[in-house]
Structure 1
Amino acid sequence: MKITGIITAMVTPLSENGIDEAATRKLVNKLINDGVHGLFILGTNGEFYALSEEEKLTLVKIVVDEAAGRVPIFAGSGGISTEAVIQLTNQFAELGVDAVSIITPYLIKISDGELIQHYQTIASNTNLPIILYNIPANTKISISEQVFKELIKIPRIVGIKDSSGQLENIQMYLDLNDRADFSVLVGSDSLILPALQKGADGAVAATSNVLTKTDLGIYQAYLANDLEKAARLQESINDFRRVLKLATVPSVLKYSLGLTGIPVGPPKSPVRGVTPELDTEIRNTLALYKEIEGMEKLSCKN
């Protein structure tokens, strides 16, 4: 499979009883109807680290069912234990996801050889296409040039999402990619256009939960060679990115979705929800995008 375009790193709608099915279905339809090229669930913004296995499986079932084949579904099955990743990946396969995203192990510091073996073992014991997920600021492990050279030899590994925030890192993966079926995806929303210009195939963008048409516009303008428009849209997301940093991920992102009419609930503890003091600033920032995103009046209650 060749993965391209704008793929939403979807938040996980939650209620007091776990996964909020109604909100999940509403968000899936909103994103697909707006034109995203895929849904990336159970990533960092999807709070994979805080969800139980039961919650993960429930979310996957709902998203796969609601998407109904309209766009590919990529689900995060990564973890620390190789055996546990294999088990969850195979469960996701039974539920119908199109590929899995597997983050590098975290908490422990492993060698390059152990990292390569981790992915080789998973690929040998599962049937789904695999997207590598590189986010060294969070995991303290980076998929280096030496590791990447070995992993790209594995046919089941079909792409990499790079959230290092370093264009040089993306360029390294692009330079080493000798496969037509392998996709290099940028995971840093501030670098969508620069990465595309270097040859990246697309972006896994958390901001597209809310700024769906803006992020899609960057990609579409780039394809149309309207680089002035693409650059303008890329610059425009900085205001939203600024407010996202005012609280722990994904607190502001989930709050913003609630204001736009899709109440996805608070983040999982220990992450706290947005404090009332931030409400006005978030609303004022979202108002900047009302025209392009076609937002109706922001909700009075979140």
Structure 2
Amino acid sequence: MNGIYTALICSFDENGKVNEKGLREIVRHNIDVQKVDGLYVNGSSGENFLMSADQKKKVFEIVKDEVKDEVKLIAQVGALDIDEAVELAQFATDLGYDALSAVTPFYYRFDFEEVKDYYNTILENVDNKMIIYSIPALTGVSMNLEQFAELFENEKVIGVKFTAPDFFLLERIRHAFPDKLIYSGFDEMLLSAAVLNVDGAIGSTFNVNGQRAKQIYALAKESRIDEAREVQKVTNDLIAEILANGLYQTIKEILKAQGVDAGYCRKPMKRLTEDKVENAKAMAAKYC
């Protein structure tokens, strides 16, 4: 399960319905062009929290059908509705996904015992492995080393997608749990995380920048830090331009410029202006 995983973008048509043809093209682009080691399906980058349960299932089905066993697949099943999370976990497991992931429950101010019960409830209803998805900036849920240790007591919890800039905590988790998988979740900080010996990374910009992400990770593992820093610099130049232009919309427009039917984002995400579409095309020409 080590390596570089794309947080998969999902293609939608102008009415917000899953565009199967486009989704399959995005999957193939990630495998054949970006050469990533796996796909993280129905995460934030896939606009998961804007979709119905049926739409999420459709995405799981299409991606598994396209991938077969070419690369590893992680299914993000987290939802505020615990019954939906369990249902999606069972569905993805039956499809043959290699592991599950679930964002910490959000919006309400859940205490840690409630967060722990959420994960244990999902896992007691399914025969699969779990990767905790920790992204405090969006969920408001921060956990300390002792709390991660409690979650890891469940043998089915095999690791964490760590999307936080707290490198002290990241190092402490790595030191305390050498046998757990740690994936870096901030694309712009991949090198810094790789130096701390993470097991891989999961990122949205890997849809268009996966090859560089693999370079950074490999160079860091070989202690070729100066070379890795140069690749991270180019990567961060691209990320800065993407963020200034509109994250998910711009990634889709870069993919379109490469001939991939990446479609549109679901409302309430807005469409890019013509100027921003042109910016995205320029990024594709410059970086891809």
Tell me if TM exceeds 0.5. Answer: yes
Residue 209 of structure 1: how far off its partner (Å): 0.3
Q: Identity over the aligned pairs, expressed in percent?
A: 25
Gap regions ≥5 residues in structure 2: none
Alignment check: 8 A CA contact 2:3 2:200 kept: yes
The 5 A counterparts of 1:281-300 are 281-290=279-288
**Which residue of structure 1 aligns with residue 110 of structure 2?**
110
**Which residue of structure 2 aligns with residue 214 of structure 1?**
212
The 5 A counterparts of 1:110-259 are 110-178=110-178, 180=179, 182-259=180-257
The 5 A counterparts of 1:93-104 are 93-104=93-104
Residue 216 of structure 1: how far off its partner (Å): 1.5
Residue 286 of structure 1: how far off its partner (Å): 2.8
Flag as ranges the 4+ runs of structure 1 deviating above 3 A. none
For 1:160 and 1:19, locate their aligned partners in 2 and report how far apart those are by CA, in whole Å.
28
**1:260 aligned partner, one-letter code:** Q
Aligned length: 286
**Which residue of structure 1 aligns with residue 60 of structure 2?**
60
Which range moves more in the overlay, 217-226 or 83-92?
217-226
**Which residue of structure 2 aligns with residue 43 of structure 1?**
43
For 2:218 and 2:271, locate their aligned partners in 1 and report how far apart those are by CA, in whole Å.
34
Q: CA RMSD in A?
A: 1.6
Matched, 1:69 2:69: yes
The 5 A counterparts of 1:8-23 are 8-15=6-13, 16=15, 18-23=17-22
Which range moves more in the overlay, 46-55 or 15-24?
15-24
Residue 160 of structure 1: how far off its partner (Å): 0.3
For 1:259 and 1:93, locate their aligned partners in 2 and report how far apart those are by CA, in whole Å.
35
**Which residue of structure 2 aligns with residue 296 of structure 1?**
none
For 1:71 and 1:42, locate their aligned partners in 2 and report how far apart those are by CA, in whole Å.
16
Residue 226 of structure 1: how far off its partner (Å): 2.5
**1:269 aligned partner, one-letter code:** K
Which range moves more in the overlay, 30-39 or 242-251?
242-251
**Which residue of structure 2 aligns with residue 295 of structure 1?**
none
For 1:172 and 1:46, locate their aligned partners in 2 and report how far apart those are by CA, in whole Å.
30
**Which residue of structure 1 aligns with residue 27 of structure 2?**
28
Alignment check: 8 A CA contact 2:9 2:26 kept: no
Which structure is higher in helix share? 2
Gap regions ≥5 residues in structure 1: 291-302
